[in-house]
């Protein structure tokens, strides 16, 4: 099977929206399929054509940025050319160009799977809200035209105003979550190096954007350290996100809690990331909205229980595994209470990596994508 994947950012860009398609692509290649990724050349030093772990990467030049998206003048012709050369097309949304891809693929007789990685939620502001409304409307048109849609969970799909009208053509597939086995000695050494030895550590990670709710965690810190003095909060990820200045809005809270915070930076080395999870006693996911958040399952696989907000999509991992607690969303007091409860008795919430993998199996996930894509490819072949 020849699969064309289309998304705005791909390797070496590093977010959940890019790692998910990357792992799907590389695992499909491992099973003998040919996968080409059409994406943006988001950095001028990147080659226009590349191959990484068996996946062909076509990067298109950009002439500017539109909020979280980019402008690629050669995009329509590239889609037409590559769609002809492949059996099936997969779009990863949110993506401004989604309806154009579905329409162009249809013009050359190819079926499209829209893999949805979360509704577009922009911060306050007239321009941001204009972008959210416009891009959401365009993506909704893509869902109308596409013969198949995938979502991370039924919980998210049924509670999403964006996805709910299309439930009859949605297949729910858990993301393929891969993390190396952590090295306990390395995690202990890192604790010593950072001056965290003998202290409780709450981890959190991701892009510092409003939807992740890190401001609620910052507001919860005083309550936690009052009851458990010496608790530290370690963050792994980017603070200064190009398209959103939420960290600047949080700066007063950051400065207020400065003595309790440790900033690790963006950890692109998966072994280091596994050590980060392992050195934490609990992982916090205080999101306002979240389709799933793969970081929480990564933490679980490294032996760290999770405290997450009880919102559609984000709550699935804790519900399915029992490895953590769910708390009221946008409530710093509830978040603090949940963190304290897990910190006091972490062994009550721990599960083995084998138990977690039984729920979140990479092989099962790839088989589900493989079956869905093959069904679309066969349908296109029958139609032509």
DSSP states along 218-270: HHHHHHHHHHSTT-EEEEES-SS-TT--HHHHHHHHHHHTGGGEEEEE---SH
How far apart, in Å, are the Cα atoms of 133 and each of 92, 96, 116, 127, 136?
Answer: 18, 11, 17, 10, 5
pLDDT confidence of 121, banded at 50, 70, 90? confident
Domain ranges of the chain: 2-176+361-383, 184-359
Distance CA 179, CA 308 (A): 20
Structure token digits, residue 101: 């891809």
**Which residues are CB-contacts of 280 (< 8 A; sequence separation ≥ 6)?**
201, 202, 203, 234, 299, 304
Structure token digits, residue 298: 């990564």
Distance CA 207, CA 238 (A): 5
Q: Residue 320 in 3-state DSSP?
A: helix
Burial category of 37 from C-beta neighbours within 10 Å (exposed 0-12, middle 13-18, buried 19 and up): buried
Q: Could you tell me what percent of the chain has a pLDDT over 70?
A: 98
**Which residues are CB-contacts of 145 (< 8 A; sequence separation ≥ 6)?**
99, 102, 103, 106, 112
Q: In what order do the strands lie in the sheet with 111-116?
A: 49-52, 55-60, 34-40, 2-6, 88-93, 111-116, 148-151, 170-172
Same fold, 2-176+361-383 and 184-359: yes
Instruction: Write down the architecture of domain 2-176+361-383 according to CATH.
Output: 3-Layer(aba) Sandwich (3.40)
Q: What is the CATH number of domain 184-359?
A: 3.40.50.2000
Structure token digits, residue 380: 């296109």
Distance CA 259, CA 253 (A): 12
Partnered with residue 113 across adjacent β-strands are: 90, 148
pLDDT confidence of 242, banded at 50, 70, 90? low
Round the average pLDDT of the chain to a whole number and report it: 93
pLDDT confidence of 3, banded at 50, 70, 90? very high
Q: Bigger pLDDT: 85 or 130?
A: 85
With 50 as the cut, is the pLDDT of residue 99 above it?
A: yes
pLDDT confidence of 64, banded at 50, 70, 90? confident
Nearest alpha-carbon partner for 181 in 32, 357, 52, 332: 357
Least reliable range by pLDDT among 24-38, 130-144, 333-347: 130-144
Average pLDDT over residues 303-326: 97
Residue 243 has what pLDDT?
Answer: 67
Least reliable range by pLDDT among 41-50, 125-134, 180-189, 322-331: 125-134
Pairing outcome for strands 49-52 and 55-60: antiparallel
């Amino acid at each position: 099977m020849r699969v064309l994947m289309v998304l705005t950012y791909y390797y070496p860009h590093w977010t959940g929206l890019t790692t998910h398609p990357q792992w799907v692509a590389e695992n499909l290649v491992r099973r003998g399929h040919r996968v080409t990724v059409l994406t943006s050349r988001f950095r001028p030093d990147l080659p226009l054509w590349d191959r990484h772990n068996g996946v062909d990467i076509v990067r298109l030049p950009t002439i500017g940025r539109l909020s979280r998206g980019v402008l690629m003048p050669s995009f329509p012709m590239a889609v037409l050319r590559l769609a002809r050369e492949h059996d099936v097309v997969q779009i990863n949304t949110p993506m401004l160009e989604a309806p154009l891809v579905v329409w162009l693929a249809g013009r050359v007789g190819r079926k499209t799977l829209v893999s949805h990685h979360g509704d577009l939620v922009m911060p306050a502001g007239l321009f941001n809200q204009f972008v959210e409304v416009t891009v959401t409307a365009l993506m909704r048109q893509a869902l109308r035209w596409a013969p198949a849609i995938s979502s991370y969970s039924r919980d998210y799909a049924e509670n999403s105003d964006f996805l709910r009208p299309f439930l009859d053509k949605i297949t729910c597939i858990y993301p393929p979550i891969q993390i190396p086995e952590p090295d306990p000695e390395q995690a202990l050494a890192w604790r010593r190096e950072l001056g965290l030895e003998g202290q409780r550590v709450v981890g959190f990670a991701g892009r510092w954007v409003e939807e992740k709710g890190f401001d609620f965690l910052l507001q919860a810190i005083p309550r936690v350290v009052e009851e458990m003095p010496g608790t530290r909060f370690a963050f792994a990820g980017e603070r200064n996100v190009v398209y959103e200045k939420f960290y600047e809005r949080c700066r007063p809270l950051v400065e207020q809690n400065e003595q309790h915070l440790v900033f690790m930076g963006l950890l692109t080395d998966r072994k280091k990331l596994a050590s980060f999870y392992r050195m934490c006693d609990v992982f916090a996911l205080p999101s306002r909205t979240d389709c799933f958040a793969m970081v929480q399952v990564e933490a679980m696989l490294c032996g760290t229980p999770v405290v997450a907000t009880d919102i559609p999509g984000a709550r699935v991992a804790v519900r399915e595994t029992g490895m953590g607690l769910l708390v009221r969303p946008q409530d710093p007091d509830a978040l603090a209470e949940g963190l304290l409860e897990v910190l006091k008795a972490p062994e009550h919430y721990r599960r083995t990596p084998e138990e977690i993998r039984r729920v979140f199996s990479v092989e099962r996930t790839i088989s589900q994508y493989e079956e869905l894509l093959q069904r679309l490819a066969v349908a296109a072949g029958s139609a032509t």
